[in-house]
Structure 1
Amino acid sequence: MTALSATLVVLGGGGAHASGQQSPGTAGPMPAHVAAPYVETWTGESPAALAAESGNKYLTMAFLQTPVAGSCTAYWNGDTTKPIARAAFGDDIAAIQARGGNVIPSFGGYSADTTGTELADSCTSVDAIAAVYENLARTYGITRIDLDVEADSITDTAGIDRRNKAIAKAERWADRTGHNLQFSYTLPTTNTGLAPSGVALLQNAVDNHARVDVVNIMTFDYWDGVRHDMAADTKSAAAGLHGQLAALYPKKNPARLWGVIGVTEMPGIDDYGPEETFTTPDAVTVEKWAAARGIDTLSFWALQRDNGGCVGTAGANSCSGIAQDTWYFSHVFESFTRGRHVH
């Protein structure tokens, strides 16, 4: 995502879904329908505390990236004091897992994708990239990895090919060692589906036998100067993606393809401006639609924005810019995970 970005999910054949916490290395897969908002991990706040306060069982943790272009070592936000290790966020992740949830670590985002520090753009070794994914799963007991590919990264064909080869390699490792491991791609979208660059990325995944379990589209940034009905455009963007996935995966039936789709919103006034405002009624509409369609993931950028502390402000990192109750969007979307929907 931009200072606000989201999640890329790879389209999967998918096994049985289950929830519930197990020890690292044996954790069960994500629920078939999950709300997992992004959390900004660079703020110094505790993801576990934010999850508890907001009522979220699942979080997407942004972002992992290399400290400099050319490196093959990923750190949280590129900060070399925060490696993939239990000492960095291990207690938070364990606390979330102990409450029956899990986290989805996310690689990339707008900053990494424009500085050559997204892991697969930075590192030229497929084996080294795959080893980072495998180490992440082992270290934290997570079962899904998100790949936020946008900006310069979505046209970096060498990086795209390495990433998909590394996904396939990590998936073979997971199958061999008994780990549950999914991949999601978070990608930019138009209001009628992916741009050709996003389709080409997924075609490369098909060509490399990389299973994509979720394709998560950022249904908040269209940058076209048009005032948008954000709920209606979420539906039309996802419908367009569904058609694109049907062409990429002709053996999957329509219901199964809906189960590969994720959407990520931005509560309130997004970074473009008032023309792209996701309202509290929009949240209810989208949650009901997501449940009826049976999509995989509902997310938003970002958890720290889920409050009404800056009415009228566009694109703030710590508030939505609209009048709302604190954690309103979390509570509405969390109904999607529980299967009890807001009316």
Structure 2
Amino acid sequence: MRRPRPLRALLAALCTVTASAGLVLAADSAAHAAATPLPAHVFAPYFEAYANDSPADLAQKSGAKYLTMAFVQTEAKGSCTPYWNGSTGQPVSASVFGADFATIRSRGGDVIPSFGGYAADNGGTEIADSCTSVDSIAAAYEKVITTYDMARLDMDIEDNSLTNKAGIDRRNQAIKKVQDWATASGRPLQISYTLPTTTGGLASSGLAVLKSAKTAGAQVDVVNLMTFDYYDNASHDMAADTQSAATGLYDQLAALYPAKTPAQLWGMVGVTEMPGIDDFGAAETFTTADATAVYNWAVGKGINTLSFWALQRDNGGCPGTGGSDTCSGIAQDPWYFTHTFASFTGGGGPVADDFSLAVAPGSASVAPGGATTATVRTAVTSGSAKTLALTAAGAPAGVSAALSPGSVTAGGSAQLTVTAAASAAPGTYPITVTGTAGQLTHSTTFTLTVTGPGGGGGALVNGGFESGALAPWTCESGGAVVATPAHGGAYALRTAPTASRTGECAQTLTLTPNTKYTLSGWVQGSYAYLGVRGGASASTWTSSAAWTKLSVPFTTGASGAVTVYLHGWYGQGSVYGDDLSVDRN
């Protein structure tokens, strides 16, 4: 999973949790209330504990009753002391997250602490890699359990932790000790392992973790597959790959635990998705349609855990951006993936009617006197399809926004038409599109830019790419906004030509009909083509290792519609563009 490295103390602390501490914690727990077991089927998205968000606040806003808290780590390699995010400022203490967890429980949910994570596994601060005492590792697990009264611990093991055999064995021996302690204390306790996967099941390294657990006598209740970041340079149907990976895991578990029934084996399976574009890039994009497919499959199979990385990503704030910690990289309603998966908790199956709403493209520019259109798409996320009343609000004076039809059944689409009168003032305006079914309402935003004198000097939206995202540009696979090289500001556009495509990135504009314009911008790379097509046709190109300015004069046709594009040439390497604009002559 994509995660920042943990915070480090300036000086490594000595290992302070000892074997005797485990006995003290065990004694203290006698007076502690027993934790409530988790449901047989639970949706528990990961929560980035290193962010400044409140777990209870985001749980309530999103509708996620259960959270997987990432991550518990040591502050330095060699330490045996657990901290949230490896930060000595966030000790395992009721004063850190305790109030949030209590609030989540008061609403009928709970929390699963997760040990490890990529940064800790890579840097040696995963506690079983860092600490060489099995008793001290067990005491650290017990401390988390008793401090927060937890019913499940998750072990996120990847990267270097998958090849550290000593750490793998210590971890499983410590788990066995904690399970024996929990049984003697009358505490319910589950252990889950979160592991990377291939599309056919666990790699040999992940399977070795489970074999070590069996040898140690440690019970693994859930094996949670990270069904993303395959990094195999293949195209992926992410929903289908989730199912094939889980089926491969099922077969592996059947070989490890031959006495278990099929229902019991599927009841050990968990999957964690990465909504939108994962760290690898656009070839591994988990779509809103994939979410529905995975939900239905998970309910049908009766798997134990459904999750995703991470709750803070469940919004459409950065279309075209991969691997962000704060947004999914695709157009979506806020909390779409949470709303789709939430009813999995319990016995599975929809518990309420709900829908999602999205508009594509999410933005456009028009000149005064022009018009543009976008598609409003809806989908059923749970329950049955309802009739949705559609409205558009927020258009400024001189701009009208109309929806046709004005109502649809969830799952249907409508066309948004935005028209700017000749009197419309240049500027950028958010238009809110809302769908309503009874008391249930969802909204999304379409951003309109009215061009002209005083309107910023150009008709292109995001021509300098300073939003940090592609929208409203669309690119062939591999196209992205990058920080280096940039001509002006902090970002530029990168195209990704291959042997079979030019790597084109494009944006469609509606300009004033029968009018002269100039497309201009700075480009870098071999065979960099800048041009327009559609209602006009003109282009130019250059090959240069340095930033070079290109200008393309053109005249619009009767419709005023043109498509602006930048691309390279087959097999000639990346082409970069920045500070692009379309200006009226």
Look up the SS of the partner of 1:175 in the other structure. Answer: helix
Mean Cα displacement is larger for which, 97-106 or 333-342?
A: 333-342
State the TM-score, normalized to the length of structure 2: 0.55
Partner of 2:45: 37
Partner of residue 178, structure 1: 186
The residue aligned with 1:146 is 154
Q: Which amino acid is the alignment partner of residue 27 of structure 1?
A: A
Quick one: which of 247, 250, 274 aligns to 1:242?
250
Amino acid at match of 2:162: I
Cα contact 2:314–2:334 (8 A) shared by 1: yes
Report what 1:8 is aligned to. none
Q: Which residue matches 1:340? A: 349
The residue that corresponds to 2:332 in the other structure is: 324
Q: Is the 2:2–2:325 Cα contact (8 Å) retained in structure 1?
A: no
Q: Alpha-carbon deviation of 1:108?
A: 0.5
Aligned position for 2:293: 285
CA contact (8 A) 2:4 2:119 kept: no
SS of the aligned residue for 1:332 comes to helix
Could you tell me whether the CA contact under 8 Å between 2:299 and 2:349 is conserved in 1? no
Residue in 1 that maps onto 2:101 = 93
Q: CA deviation at 1:4?
A: 8.4
Q: Is residue 225 of structure 1 aligned with residue 233 of structure 2? A: yes
Structure 1 counterpart of 2:275, one-letter code: P
TM-superposition CA deviations, 1:263-290 (whole Å, max 9, x none): 0000000010000000001001001100
Query: Hey, what's the Cα distance between the residues in 2 that align with 1:202 and 1:25?
Result: 31
Q: Deviation digits for residues 131-168 of structure 1, max 9, x if unmatched?
A: 11111111101100000000000110000000000000
How far the C-alpha of 1:2 sits from its partner, in A, is 3.1
Mark the runs of 5 or more structure 1 residues left unpaired by the alignment: 6-22
1:24 Cα offset (Å):
5.5
Question: Counterparts of 2:48 and 2:188 in 1: how far apart (Å)?
Answer: 25
Q: CA deviation at 1:340?
A: 3.0
State how 1:152-191 maps to structure 2 within 5 Å.
Answer: 152-191=160-199
Question: How big is each residue's C-alpha offset from its partner over 1:155-201, in whole Å with a ceiling of 9 and x where there is no partner?
Answer: 10000000000000000000000111111000000000000011111
Superposed displacement of residue 126, structure 1:
0.5
The one-letter code matched in structure 1 to 2:189 is: L
Question: 4+ runs of 1 displaced by more than 4 Å?
Answer: none
The match for 2:319 among 311, 322, 339 is 311
Larger-gyration structure (1/2)? 2
What is the aligned partner in structure 2 of residue 12 from structure 1?
none
3-state secondary structure, aligned to 1:129: helix
Equivalence for 2:279 = 271
Aligned equivalents of 2:223 and 2:194: distance in 1?
A: 6
* C-alpha distance in 2 between matches for 1:90 and 1:82: 11
User: Which residue identity does 1:340 align to in structure 2?
Assistant: G
State the SS of the aligned residue for 1:274: coil
- The answer to whether structure 1 residue 260 and structure 2 residue 268 are counterparts is yes
Cross-structure match for 2:2: 2
Task: Verify the 8 A CA contact 1:41 1:61 in the aligned structure 2.
Answer: yes
Query: RCO greater where, 1 or 2, for CA within 8 Å and sep 6 or more?
Result: 1
For residues 306-334 of structure 1, what are the alpha-carbon distances to aligned partners after superposition, in whole Å with 9 as ceiling and x for unaligned? 00000111111100000100000001110
> 2 CA distance for matches of 1:239 and 1:218?
14
Report what 1:84 is aligned to: 92
CA distance in structure 2 between the aligned counterparts of 1:206 and 1:58, rounded to whole angstroms:
28
Q: Residue type matched to 1:222 in 2?
A: Y
Any conservation in 2 of the 1:129–1:166 contact (CA below 8 Å)?
Answer: yes
CA change 1:24–1:290 in 2 (3 A) is farther
Residue pairs, 1:4-153, within 5 angstroms: 25-153=33-161
Q: Structure 1: which amino acid aligns with 2:339?
A: H
Q: Aligned partners of 1:133 and 1:267: how far apart in 2? A: 30
Cα distance in 2 for partners of 1:119, 1:160 equals 11
Distance of 2:127 and 2:32 partners within structure 1: 23
- Looking at structure 2, the residues matched to 306 and 261 of structure 1 have their Cα atoms a distance apart, in angstroms, of 23
Alpha-carbon distance in structure 2 between the residues aligned to 1:84 and 1:132: 9
- Structure 2 segments unaligned to the other structure (5+ residues): 6-30, 351-381, 384-585
Q: CA deviation at 1:25?
A: 3.4
Q: Which amino acid aligns with 1:161?
A: D
Q: Distance in 2 between matches of 1:140 and 1:200?
A: 31
Deviation at 1:87, TM superposition (A): 0.7
C-alpha deviations, 1:19-77, integer Å up to 9, x for none?
Answer: xxxx9531221100000000001111100000000001100000010000000001000
Does the CA-based 8 Å contact 1:24-1:140 persist in structure 2?
A: no
In the alignment, is the contact (CA less than 8 A) between 1:24 and 1:139 conserved in 2? no
Give the aligned length.
Answer: 326
Distance 1:140 1:274 in 2: 39
In structure 2, C-alpha distance between the alignment counterparts of 1:184 and 1:4, rounded to whole Å:
22
Q: Which amino acid aligns with 1:151?
A: D
* Aligned residue identity for 2:136: A
Give the drift of 1:226.
Answer: 0.6
Deviation digits for residues 75-134 of structure 1, max 9, x if unmatched?
000000111110110001111111111100001011000110000000001011111111
Instruction: Tell me the SS of whatever aligns to 1:246.
Output: helix
Name the SS of the counterpart of 2:191 in structure 1: strand
**Given that residues 2 and 323 in structure 2 are in contact (C-alpha distance below 8 angstroms), is that contact kept between their aligned partners in structure 1?**
no
CA distance in 2, matches of 1:236, 1:213: 21
Structure with greater strand percent: 2
For 1:224 and 1:337, locate their aligned partners in 2 and report how far apart those are by CA, in whole Å: 32
Instruction: Note if contact 1:24-1:142 (Cα within 8 Å) is conserved in structure 2.
Output: no
How far apart are 1:294 and its partner, in Å?
0.3
Tell me the residue number matched to 1:295: 303
1 or 2, which has the higher helix percentage? 1
Measured in 1, the distance between the counterparts of 2:111 and 2:149 equals: 9
